[in-house]
Every structure is written in C-alpha cells, then in structure tokens.
Chains A and B, each alone.
Chain A
C-alpha cells in the first residue's frame, strides 16, 4: 500500500482531506478490522480523526445532549447524565464488543458503519437524535432515520464527516435497550429492541420503539408505539407491543440465526425493552446494561 495519511488536530483540515478523497478512520474497529477480515481493502488515503479534540466529548445543552462524533462507547457508558436520563444509550454502549472495542470505537463510527445490528442506533433513533454532518461545502443536520440507506450504507456523501450527534431531552421518560445475545461480551445483537416511554399519571403518554437486526436498517415501529400509548405499559401491553413489532420486522436468515427465530425473538426483546423502560420511568432501578438476564427467561 502506497497511500497518503493525515492526522490533523483541527476539523477543518480533516474536511480538506475528505474533499481530496481521503477516507476517515477513528478507532478503526470497523474499517481496519473489516480490512483484516477481507471484507474490503483498507482505503488508500486515510485521515485519522483521533487527535481532533473538538470532535470528542459530551455536553449538555438546552436540556439535551451534544455528543462529539469520536466520543468512545466507554465514554458514553460511564457518563452520569446518559446513565440517568438517556439510559438506553448506556445500555447499548456498554455492551459493544470488548473493553478494547469500547475504549477505541466511536459513536460516529458506529453510525457511519450503518450496521442493521449497531447497538447505539436504536436508542438514538428513539431519542430522535440529529446528526451534524460537515464537508468543505458546509454543515447540515440529518435526522438519524435519514442517515441509514441500507445495510452498511449511509446517505452521506464521500466527503462528508459526522461531526456530532444531538440528542434531545425527554421529560419523565424511561428508556431501555435489550439485545438477545449468545454470549455476554464480544457479541453483536442477534436481535435487539429499544423502548423509550414517557408517563403521565401512570399511563404511557409517548412511546418510541425501535428494532435492531430485524430489518435492513435499525428502525422505529410506529404500530407498536401507538398501541402502547394510553396503556399502563404492564405485561399485556408490553406483549402486544412485542407482537406488533414482530409482525413489522423484516428479518433475514444468516449464520447467526434463522428468519423465523429472529421474528419469534423480536416479540420477546421488544416486550423486555418496554418492561425495562416502564420500570425505569417509574423510578425503579434496572441495572445497566439491561441484559436479557435482567428479566429472566419467561
């Protein structure tokens, strides 16, 4: 390989590099690992983002969060505000890969990789996050559901970089991300589900539900959301949301699970995510990450 390499400390220099055809690398936990696995060749020209301080960090602003694109999963998982008020993001970030993956893998990379199984996508979709995207031509904001173009594909232009993710706040909310996993660590979701609920007088006023590894992109399930609104979010309401989410799922069969198994488990993980989110909205403590074992096998 005879390519070029840049490691700028300012975003403007990174954008000049992407305009010149360089591809971005942050932690390399998808880009470099994929090239070692033979999924693709490492791009000839690389611009490393890990020394750009303005891209990293978590700030609270106007009741919401602004998360820099190169903030690591470990940073997200231990952030006190995220753990308290955007708990599903902490559930998800704390189970990405291994400790090494979480220290070096970044949120922007997780989104740009656009995996249908990406852990952080479901929670961010449910919190209605917006992605700030820059190039030398300027900056634009994209609703997260407009970022994913298909498995492994975003709608970004090749010279655009994800700069930050803005996550609105949500009053009286509880949230939970649950995945079905064959092992506790070094795992990706067989299927996963996120629920974010807001309560009013003990009833669900607002509900957001997303499914992971159950469609070409991580996506919301409006039918399951509207069925949950107005209920107490108890066992039968959670089961109904799960049933509707399974109906709306478009899973595939692959080496990790069959289509039928994924669809059957969609109902289970959605029910568990709803149950966890409702419990947290009531102020109950559900440990982070809210693994399947939290809810028992039932």
Chain B
C-alpha cells in the first residue's frame, strides 16, 4: 500500500503517497523531477546519488524515501542561491573539478557536509570526506583543490 509522506527538499514541502520500497533517489528524480542526484551504481558504492538528510550525507539510492518523512533533504539543486553559485560550485568550475560531471552533484554534497563539520580540512581529511564518492574520470586532483579553495573562501568570509 501507499503511505502519505511530506518530503522537505531544499526547503520546499512535497506531499506524496509512496510505497515502502521506494528509494529516496527514485522519488527525487521521478516524482519531484530533481535529476541532479544521479543513479550510478545503485548500491551505495559510488556516491553519485549523495544527498544531505538533516545535514548528513546519505546514499539516496539505498535509503527508503519514507524514512526521510519530515527530515530536511538537500540535493545539489539546493546549494545555489538563485543564480549565485555556492562557493563550492564556483571552486569546482575554477579548479577543473568537473569533467564529465556525473559525480559532481554527489561530490558537492559530500564536500558540503565535510565543510559544515570541518571548515578547514587538511588534504587527507578532504580525501576521507569524499571517500564515498567515485569519479570515473579520475579527476580527483582538481576536486580536492576545489574543496581546499572553497574552504579557504568560506573561512575568510566568516
């Protein structure tokens, strides 16, 4: 049977009725049309589906949508303010952190969680923070540089 649920995604409430087996990723992409979060491996290996649930990174491909009822979900679509990119997004562009782009939404989400918990991470801490995200283009050097640059920017803005 279907159960009523209100997903709070990027600050917007979405009342829905969902079957228990639906994953958060499928609901985000199919029901809400938020296709920034990607389906890569579909079993929590690659991190392309990463979203924040109450501020913590979650592989949405393997997380039941009903478990997110009433919790704050943030997808990559929620990072920018209007047309102003989030500092991490800008840094990814400036440092060549985007190649094919498929891993980018998940990388940005994991990096957001990392900087929220640790605003001035070392390179090792950045690599650990992004360890649940795979880049098939192997563009890790640019990604790590982007997170380092954004952390400096976020730190100096405070």
Chain A residues in contact with chain B, CB under 8 A? 1-5, 7, 25, 28-29, 32-33, 36-37, 42, 45-46, 48, 50, 97-101, 103-104, 184-186
Contacts and interface: CB of A to CB of B under 8 A. Distances in A.
B132 interface: yes
10 nearest A-B residue pairs (beta carbon): A98-B132, A185-B131, A5-B20, A1-B21, A36-B43, A100-B57, A103-B56, A37-B43, A32-B62, A33-B62
B110 interface: yes
Contacts of B58: 100, 103-104
B45 interface: yes
B88 to A, nearest CB: 16
Interface residues of B, number: 32
29 contacts: A1-B19, A2-B1, A7-B67, A7-B69, A25-B67, A29-B44, A29-B62, A32-B23, A32-B62, A33-B43, A33-B44, A33-B62, A36-B42, A45-B20, A46-B20, A46-B64, A48-B66, A50-B67, A97-B132, A98-B131, A99-B57, A99-B131, A100-B59, A100-B110, A100-B132, A101-B59, A103-B58, A186-B45, A186-B131
Contacts of A33: 43-44, 59, 62
B64 A28 contact: yes
A98 B64 CA distance: 19
B143 interface: no
A2 B20 CA distance: 8
A275 B69 CA distance: 47
